[in-house]
Structure 1
Amino acid sequence: MSAEDDEIEKSSAPLIEHLIELRSRLIWALGGFFVAFLVCFYFAKQLFNLLVIPFKWAVHWAGLANQKVELIYTAPQEFFFTQVKLAMFGGLIIAFPLIAAQLYKFVAPGLYKNERAAFLPFLIASPVLFLMGASLVYFFFTPMVMWFFLAMQQTGPGSDVQISLLPKVSEYLSLIMTLIFSFGLVFQLPVVTTLMARVGLLTSQGLKDKRKWAIVIAFIVAAVLTPPDPVSQIGLAIPTILLYEVSIWTARMVERKREEERLAAEKQEEASSSTTPATS
């Protein structure tokens, strides 16, 4: 074997080791998702009934306490595939900590110790912020959106034409998933901007200067991600703007910490240079 072939053989060994490690992490991540999917599919009806609770709150807010909450499906297989979709969505949320941990374990050996220490808080903050956005959707914005749609009904003895809201199970689940995904994605804004500020791609002053554009973009993104009703669009745009302000504050904190570290390093360098004996 020539020297060139020997060098290629040595360089290919780490690549094979990384591929084996990647396969192991993928197996753990996919296995965790599959187990979570099976559990969620087994309890799919109970989970769907749990998601219907905000609809019940909306009925109560609309003053329709006597109206029965009813959802329909118009195709034989519709509710089955709705349960599959719900199980996949729930399984992904439940298995996300395991998936994120496997991703971190695969990437962490290639990072320096200070980089791992800096990256770990964001790995924890991301699912926490997502759950905060999902909770806001469940406890407030879904009832508000359904209340808005219920207000369009034409019911009662004084109405010649009876128009009632009978949502399909698939469309109701799509609405809930869209809202949860939209709010969960928007709530990642402080994490993304803080990471970009740490690597020097963003500054707090730059974020302040772009505040007007950020407000316009927040309403555009809300119009794209949410259903076409003003309640959900405004409901997503306002938290986005508030999170943008939080991002400015976190970027300022990152810059302040970086400046403190720079000053401490300069003082340490000055102290070490002053104590170094002069050479002849």
Structure 2
Amino acid sequence: MNPVDQQESFISHLVELRNRLIKSLVAVLVVFLSLVWWAKDLYALLAAPLLAVLPQGGQMIATDVVGVFLVPVKVVAWLSLLIAMPVVLYQAWAFVAPGLYAHEKRFAVPVMIASCILFVIGMAFAYFVFFPGMFKVMASFTPQGVAWMTDIDKYLSFVMGMFLAFGAAFEVPVVVVLLVLMGIVSTAKLAEARRYVIVGAFIVAAVVTPPDVASQFMLAFPMCLLYELGILVGRLLEKRRD
């Protein structure tokens, strides 16, 4: 390919990338505009696990003048991105798919779908299991005479961090399966490394979650189970390949 053709090909790829990004942003914007009217209700739903364990008369506070407006809008923005994620991923797939081999396309789509599903399951686990349990533990340790209140912006930052942590933790089976598919490691080696993975899971949980044993266990235990699930799926794939 001569330099002129290379330059035209590069420019055409940039134009396609721009169009894909615009379509993704439009999808997110459409969802955002559809939900922004219910921003306060969505934040109340997000704060429900904490509000349920606050003592009588307890409430959340806003220390920033514009926080009461910006924080609910941030919630809508994150939720819009999550809802529009299928469109965003499709645009990303449409951009990179022409450069992939047939066997890469064959397992890329299932891996991408599984990753999205597991990430959402991880977020749901954090909301319905981790938050209620962790907030109850925190409430039980509140000293007598201390009013336990938190800023809504700090609460959002904490919740989003936990969502990302649990979503990423639930990707363990995907990582294990990819390692097996690419031939980097066998399921036998993964099974031998089980004890180190368990220790690593508890170390990660200790770093990511609040400093209480219950919170650490609620992250480490699912990671260990999902690691075993990844090994099980990897063995099935190895048998099929053989």
Q: Same fold (TM over 0.5)?
A: yes
SS at structure 2 position matched to 1:71: coil
Superposed CA deviations along residues 208-257 of structure 1, whole A, max 9, x for unmatched, are 12111111111121122223332222211111111111111122122111
Residue matched to 2:31: 36
- Give the ranges of 4+ consecutive aligned residues of structure 1 lying more than 6 Å apart after TM superposition: none
Structure 2 letter corresponding to 1:179? M
1:191 and 2:178 are equivalent in the alignment: no
1:217 and 2:180 are equivalent in the alignment: no
Shift of 1:56: 4.3
Q: What is the aligned counterpart of 2:20 among 21, 25, 29?
A: 25
Residue matched to 1:271: none
**Does structure 1 retain, via aligned residues, the 8 Å contact 2:176–2:234?**
yes
Number of equivalenced pairs = 242
**Does structure 2 retain, via aligned residues, the 8 Å contact 1:175–1:227?**
no
Shift of 1:112: 3.0
SS at structure 2 position matched to 1:145: helix
Residue matched to 2:157: 174
Gaps of 5+ in 2: none
Q: What is the aligned counterpart of 1:46 among 41, 44, 59?
A: 41
Cα 1:171–1:11 shift into 2, 3 Å = closer
Superposed CA RMSD: 2.0
Structure 1 letter corresponding to 2:209? T
**Does structure 2 retain, via aligned residues, the 8 Å contact 1:33–1:95?**
yes
Cα 1:256–1:80 shift into 2, 3 Å = same
**Does structure 2 retain, via aligned residues, the 8 Å contact 1:178–1:226?**
no
Q: Tell me: higher relative CO, structure 1 or 2? Use CA pairs within 8 A at least 6 residues apart.
A: 2
1:234 and 2:229 are equivalent in the alignment: no
Shift of 1:184: 0.5
Whose radius of gyration is greater, 1 or 2? Answer: 1
SS at structure 1 position matched to 2:18: helix
| Inter-partner Cα distance in structure 1 for 2:8 and 2:67 | 50
**Does structure 2 retain, via aligned residues, the 8 Å contact 1:218–1:241?**
yes
Shift of 1:154: 4.2
Residue matched to 2:231: 248
Q: What is the aligned counterpart of 1:113 among 95, 102, 112?
A: 102
